[in-house]
Structure 1
């Protein structure tokens, strides 16, 4: 699965991730990053007489998360990279559990040169590497032009992404995490079911619950989610809060600012989320289901909506579904008609560890991944779309109609990403426990919306006190 769990569970393991990494990548990581980059720049690269870029160290070791996109893209792009750079050899480890696999390797000092990780990986590896300053500054890569386009890479990436906490986790203007794909997230629904019943997708929360009453009359639940993986609810919660409290306030939330959720508008969002469960709009049994079970039930018309992204089509390609099922994707509801609607976007990531043995070749590989040839290959092999401004036009006719059409959600709402700032080193808070891991209690009515919101605020205050 592409999203085993959300960003919150990544943070949940942050405290345990690289305790032994201090010797390998923590205490000297910041200095090591600068030294490795500077030293490699002066010694590792040269221009051969043929004009082809060559490297002193031709071996690149990469670690790749294998999720819903599969491995075909990576197998092929490696072949093309090796062909474009004669003499270079790329050694790839690829697995759905890549974080758990490379963690002990990193602790032992066997650090990969390049990492491709799923968005907010469940192992907490990247969260911990951020916390321990164990990632290399990639700003120089984005200041340069691309391999096949002289435009600086920073200007080719979707606006606002590189400046977000997702890519610049320390808020210092430096880029430590490079974006891979950009997948719109929201509420997935069956377009055919809506057309057959003459239903419109809801804009406001009032519209949402009114539609829920109509669905009840036909024996259909309004909503389900990936019960034991509650982090999927981010597709709904963060854009709803952005609409209600303002997009600028999301920066305050991402930096654990006390009071950032104290407004009446924020509370209304939590109350509406809780109402789904307490007022009978949630599909029976949801909280005990995994992602494929709940997604299959939704595709069988047992529920109108499920929070997810456009990768769901590929992930559920072989799953049973209602006759004529057609994927649709719409925005989270807003409190009042006319408010800005937002599209939460999942952005998978590329990283180069601070202690990578071959950082310059890793940077060249990163630049190679942003070429048009690579973008089209990713669309062909993985049915995915890179986080580049021109990617949509590049992949039209290559990705499936379902994935391409789900990108129409950007016509409804404004692109946004959400990523937590680096947690203070001294903090012991597990933010997932307060935000999403309590979802079943909220949906069952064992925790009120006020208690949910106040619990997150309490966590923010504890984090602030540890700074």
Structure 2
């Protein structure tokens, strides 16, 4: 499950996330007709799309398919005569690539700029997305608020959603979720272990794991030592959930902004090396679950839930994604922010904001915009919580959905408490550059680092080389 430049950072406590502007959603929605939650002129607009077809492409990740199938049925019922065609796949970028190349894209995309195929990164580089600023100036379908006033603060202005910083919005926010270190809350309570605040605390937990009374039974019934950590091996980009918050802690927000801007030398500093050395220590120090580098996301997540590893990086969607997976008896989802280097340091946590967009060459852009607005209705928010166990990036969405969310997901939002939430915001890579910075940060680095075949100095060098290429192409017509 990522590309972006100016860092938007928002301090979010649990209380703030739950309570901020909740009254806006309730009071403004309540002001509409009790019998018809969808405001006028919705009914007239619905008839304008009769006999139209909408093609949407959705990345199938941790939120599954059920929400999309039901919201499409609901949309078709609200817009008589409209037919929606859904294409949903874990490899959606590869599925729709031929359509994009042929100039016949889907009308609506639910694919983030962090998706593995890089299809969204390419669309952003090529300026292949439609300006949807006007949609956010319009009123919600079921309240008297403009859509831009309903979105969580700071999001629409960030480069995740306004990538060219020209005052225009090209991507719309979908979900909001914390990403950090997931652990078995029940295990920590039973063992009396303290959750780590610093990296020293984190690595010190290894001594507890060496004690035989803390071993876990494997599939054969044999007692085996738990590993301290695992991650989604063949998808090393998940480690961004450690990298960016740790860089913010070690180097500072200002330096992280320089990194996101590809500034020469910004990735070759002692503060950066401290972070990279810490990640390397996970592998070289024997803290990593055996076989991790060859596992996919569900395999590593299953092993962690069975107790083979104490921590894994992920977002709050993991509970829904793994709802049918076997697990250690009494397993309860918990999440903490990434540890800091010094006790008392400010803690950071990476927030996930997935995206909606409309291709510039979409055949039915107005219908796509209507669908986008429909997704921001209260009915849609509640359905998403009920069917996908997630929340939209709207003010008050978490509280509105509370009785539909599982206790585990609601608990994971507590990771925001006392932490500063950040989002990655890389500058748009110039069209002429062939670099995808994720390759040098993760794909071409993590496995060699974890297996001792690359040094952190070499890691810094390859990232700096990518920065140099990108900078060389900046401003090229």
The TM-score bracket by the shorter chain reads 0.7 to 0.9
**Structure 1 residue runs without a partner (length 5+):** 11-46
CA distance in 2, matches of 1:352, 1:51: 23
SS in 2 for 1:408: helix
TM-score (norm 1): 0.86
- Partner SS state of residue 417, structure 2: helix
| 2:433–2:470 CA contact under 8 A, matched in 1 | yes
Q: CA-to-partner distance for each residue in 1:20-48, whole Å, 9 max, x for gaps? A: xxxxxxxxxxxxxxxxxxxxxxxxxxx98
> What SS does structure 2 have at the residue aligned with 1:398?
coil
Say whether residues 1:55 and 2:48 are aligned partners: yes
Distance 1:311 1:48 in 2: 35
1:303 aligns with 2:309: yes
1:181–1:107: structure 2 CA closer, same or farther, 3 Å change rule? Answer: same
Per the alignment, in what secondary structure is the counterpart of residue 353 of structure 1? coil
Identify which range, 450-459 or 127-136, moves more after superposition.
450-459
- 1:167 maps to 161
**Contact 2:64 2:321 (8 Å CA) reproduced:** no
Deviates more, 1:106-115 or 1:382-391: 106-115
Cα-to-partner distance string for 1:37-79 (whole Å, 9 max, x where unaligned): xxxxxxxxxx989755543673322222223322221222122
Give yes or no for the alignment of 1:399 onto 2:393. Answer: no
Change (3 A) 1:49 1:423: closer
> What corresponds to 1:416 in structure 2?
422
Worse-superposed segment, 323-332 or 99-108: 99-108
Residue aligning to 2:10: none
**Aligned-residue offset at 1:366:** 0.5
Contact 1:216 1:222 in 2 (8 A): no
Q: State the aligned residue count.
A: 425
Where do residues 11-22 of structure 1 align in structure 2 (5 Å cutoff)? Answer: none
Whether 1:123 and 2:129 are equivalent positions in the alignment is no
> Following the alignment from structure 2 to structure 1, what is the Cα–Cα distance between the partners of residues 246 and 431?
30
**What CA distance in whole angstroms lies between the structure 2 residues aligned with 1:255 and 1:292?**
33
Among candidates 443, 452, 465, match of residue 458 of structure 1: 465
Counterpart in the other structure of 1:349: 355
Change in Cα spacing, 1:322 to 1:356, as seen in structure 2 (3 Å) is: same
Counterpart CA distance in 2 for 1:242 and 1:366 is 34
Report how far residue 352 of structure 1 moved: 0.3
- Give the deviation of 1:344 after TM superposition: 1.0
Q: Say if 1:172 and 1:316 are closer, same or farther in 2 by CA, change over 3 A.
A: same
1:313 and 2:319 are equivalent in the alignment: yes
The RMSD of aligned alpha carbons is: 2.2
Aligned counterparts of 1:51 and 1:277: Cα–Cα separation in 2: 60
* Local SS of the residue matching 1:436: helix
- Structure 2: gaps of 5 or more residues: 5-39, 215-224
**Deviation at 1:385?**
0.9
Aligned mates of 1:139, 1:393 — CA distance in 2: 27
What's the TM-score once normalised by structure 2's chain length? 0.84
Is 1:284 paired with 2:290?
A: yes
CA contact (8 A) 2:112 2:120 kept: no
Report the alpha carbon displacement of residue 453 of structure 1 after superposing the two structures with TM: 2.3
1:367 counterpart = 2:373: yes
Shift of 1:212: 2.5
Write the mapping of 1:31-430 to structure 2, written as runs, cut at 5 A: 51-52=44-45, 54-55=47-48, 58-118=52-112, 120-217=114-211, 218=214, 219-430=225-436
Asked whether the 8 Å contact 2:206–2:228 carries over to 1, the reply is yes
CA contact (8 A) 1:227 1:289 kept: yes
2: distance between equivalents of 1:159 and 1:259?
32
